[in-house]
Amino acid sequence: MGIKSRAREFISRFCFSWPEICRHFHRAQDIRRTAISHRATIIRESNIRDAARLVSQIPNIVNLGQGLPEYPVPQVLKEAAQQAIAADVNQYSNTWGLPALREAIARKMKHYNGITADPETEITVTVGASEALNAALLATVNPGDEVIVFEPFYENYHPNITIAGGTPRYVRLHAPAYTFDADELAAAFNHRTRAILINTPHNPTGRVFTLAELQVVADLCKKWDVLAITDEIYEYMVYDGAKHISMATLPGMRERTITISGLSKTFGVTGWRLGYVVAPPEYTKALRRVHDYLTLCAPAPLQVAGIVALDMGEDFYKGMVEKYQALRDQLCVVAQRAGFKFRKPEGTYYLFTDASSFGFENDRKMWEYLLRECGLATIAGYCFYRPDARTQNIRFCYAKSPKTIAAAEERLALFTDLMVQRDLAKPRR
Ligand SMILES: Cc1ncc(COP(=O)(O)O)c(C=O)c1O
């Protein structure tokens, strides 16, 4: 008797009959096939991370795609993290974040943002701003609630709101200046509006919202009793004298604002996964419960290094801004020469361009062309718009070395040559 038939006989003798087992197996498969939640099916794969996975497999690529800073992290931070591990800070931390880190965040919030916050009741350390956004939305949004979002928006917002059961309500930032129309914004507020999600400095456009713009938002929030959730992860990256303003500092907004930031961008430590939320005590209580069950706590030894990071002196911040401003200027020259249209970013480390003049069917096709034919990785703009939007935008990241941007210039010169050849090959009428 073969091994298969012996196994069959054994199973049928002691458990179920063979046809019964087959039936169970198929039923289990059916269940598995359908056991995907609705929320998991309505969100799409992240284009940014999907593209990053693909790009990482292509040799000799020049990568201006995902926002991954290319330069080394300050030595003092690496040593602080290493020492924390060596000193055995390797277990779960306080769920809300190490008290000393929350105190450092409170100092920074007061000094840089002009917000006084109690580390005990108003500050929570999270696994990146990403978790902070999810925790804030899960703690405040009920199914059926609307959350207003400026479009284009950081790719995560749509899935974040959707997972929380909310419905995104989009308000356009109009190109080329990427400003909103106050009447369009006012029309988006209604009795279902639970929150407005604001991101300043803004990914992908590089806008830094002015006091006048934030005031319009604040007035509507107060009028409709709506919460403001602000993502300020690029708060230090502001150029040409632009000033970052935190929504919570506007009159009457502190009690209705959840402020989110983190260490990923400022200190170039996107892999450390350190973010934080500053919110009034009742919101903090609610989002801490969600945070606890989502992730329990942020990485403990890195929180220790985070204290050192937040206490870095003015020279560090000044040096960082100067570096990014120079990189922005370098990339703007390169992109302009290649024929991209854009408004010079006032903040972040992204350049968001209008690529419609190149005549591609859409930005996905153009992204693919730049990648395959020119060896240049970028981000196709469609992921910053509502699903199914027709877009013609390419985003470049300039958190790179001047050498990488110079290499991108060469790839774009090749692109220009290819476009000339393509246009010459077109049949003339
Ligand atoms: C606007 C915005 N918010 C949040 C994040 C994620 O931040 P973190 O690394 O802290 O999760 C990003 C990352 O690119 C971002 O662009």
Cα–Cα distance, 400 to 110 (Å, whole number): 31
Tell me whether residue 3 is in a domain.
no
Cα 99 to averaged position of ligand 1 atoms, centre (Å) = 24
- For 59, the token pair is 């040799």
- The backbone torsions φ and ψ at residue 338, rounded to the nearest 5 degrees and listed phi first, read -80, -5
Do residues 284 and 298 share a domain? yes
Q: Are residues 179 and 268 in the same domain?
A: yes
Q: Are residues 295 and 319 in the same domain?
A: no
- In sequence order, what are the beta bridge partners of 168? 147
CA of 197 to the centre of ligand 1 (A): 13
Nearest to residue 96, comparing CAs of 365, 295, 322?
295
Ligand 1: residues with CB < 6 A are 67, 128-130, 154, 199, 203, 231, 233, 262, 264, 270, 275
- Segment (H or E) for 124: strand 123-127
208 and 247, same domain (yes or no):
yes
Ligand 1 atom with the smallest distance to the CA of 154 is 1
| 15: confidence class by pLDDT, cuts 50, 70, 90 | very low
201-241 residue pLDDT tens: 999 999 999 999 999 999 999 999 999 999 999 999 999 99
Candidate from 106-120, 127-141, 383-397 with smallest mean pLDDT: 383-397
280 within a domain of the structure (yes/no): yes
Q: 197-215: string of b/e by CB count within 10 Å (b at 16+)?
A: bbbbbbbbbbbbbeeebbb
CA 383 to chain centre: 11
DSSP string, 263-285: STTTTT-TTT-EEEEE--HHHHH
Are residues 246 and 160 part of one domain? yes
Query: Domain of 348: which CATH number?
Result: 3.90.1150.10
Q: How far apart are the first and last CA of the chain?
A: 78
Q: Which of 265, 349, 398 to mutate to test the pocket of ligand 1 (most atoms within 8 A of CB)?
A: 265
Q: Are 202 and 217 in contact (CB under 8 A)?
A: no
- Rg from Cα positions in the chain: 25
Residue 354 and residue 233 share a domain: no
Cα–Cα distance for residue pair 31/29, rounded to 1 Å: 5
pLDDT score of 413: 96
Distances (CA, A) of 188 to 178, 220, 223, 277, 286: 17, 10, 13, 26, 26
**CA 9 – ligand 1 centroid, Å:** 57
Q: Tokens 């246009």 appear where? A: 423
- What DSSP line would sit under 17-79, residue for residue? -HHHHHHHHHHHHHHHHH---HHHHHSPPPHHHHHHHHHTTSTT-EE-SS----SPPPHHHHH
Question: Is residue 23 pLDDT above 80, yes or no?
Answer: no
In a domain, 34, yes or no: no
Beta-bridge mates of residue 174? 179
For ligand 1, pick from 264, 294, 379 the residue to mutate: most ligand atoms within 8 Å of CB. Answer: 264
Do 148 and 54 share a structural domain? Answer: no
| Domain termination site, one of 258, 287, 312 | 312
Return the ligand 1 atom nearest residue 274 CA: 10
* Total-model pTM: 0.90
Q: Choose among 210, 212, 260: nearest CA to 234.
A: 260
Say how many domains are in the chain: 2
Average pLDDT, the chain: 92
User: In this structure, is residue 20 part of a structural domain?
Assistant: no
- CATH number of the domain encompassing residue 215: 3.40.640.10
pLDDT at 113 over 90: yes
How far apart are the CA of 172 and the centre of ligand 1, in A?
21
CB atoms within 10 A of CB 281: 11
Break the chain down into helix, strand, coil percent, rounded to 5.
Answer: 50, 15, 35
Q: Give whichever of 19-33, 210-224, 382-396 has the largest mean pLDDT.
A: 210-224
Q: Which domain holds residue 185?
A: 91-312
What is the whole-number distance in angstroms between the Cα of residue 130 and the centre of ligand 1? Answer: 6
Same domain, yes or no: 224 and 124? yes
For residue 7, pLDDT beyond 60: no
Q: Angle CA(400)–CA(199)–CA(331) in degrees, nearest 5? A: 25
Residue 45 main-chain phi, psi, to 5 deg: -60, 145
Residues in the chain: 429
**Position 355 in a domain:** yes
Do 246 and 306 sit in the same domain of this protein?
Answer: yes
The reported pLDDT for the residue numbered 22 is: 54
Which residues, including other chains, have CB under 8 Å from residue 206's CB and lie 6 or more apart? 343, 344, 345, 346, 347, 348, 350, 351, 352
The confidence score (pLDDT) of residue 14 equals 45
Would 77 be classed as within a structural domain?
no
Q: Return the structure tokens found at 198.
A: 């604001």
> What is the identity of the amino acid at 381?
G
Rounded distance between C-alpha atoms, residue 370 and residue 372, angstroms: 6
Q: Whose CA is nearest to atom 7 of ligand 1?
A: 129
Ligand 1 atom at shortest distance from the alpha carbon of 127: 11
Contact 198, 229 (CB under 8 A): yes
Using one digit for the tens of pLDDT, what is the confidence trace for 152-163? 999 999 999 999
The proportion of the chain whose per-residue pLDDT surpasses 90, expressed as a percent, equals 82
- 128 and 213 both lie in a single domain: yes
CA count, 13 A, side-chain hemisphere, 340: 26
The residue out of 279, 312, 345 marking a domain boundary is: 312
Residues 67 and 154 occupy one common structural domain: no
Among the atoms of ligand 1, which is closest to the Cα of residue 263? 10
171 and 150, same domain (yes or no): yes
What pLDDT does residue 30 have? 58
Kindly report the number of other CB atoms within 10 A of residue 294's CB atom.
14
Longest CA–CA separation in the chain, Å: 84
Confidence check: pLDDT of 28 > 60: no
Ligand 1 atom with minimal separation from the 231 CA: 3
**Residue where a domain terminates, one of 312, 327, 347:** 312
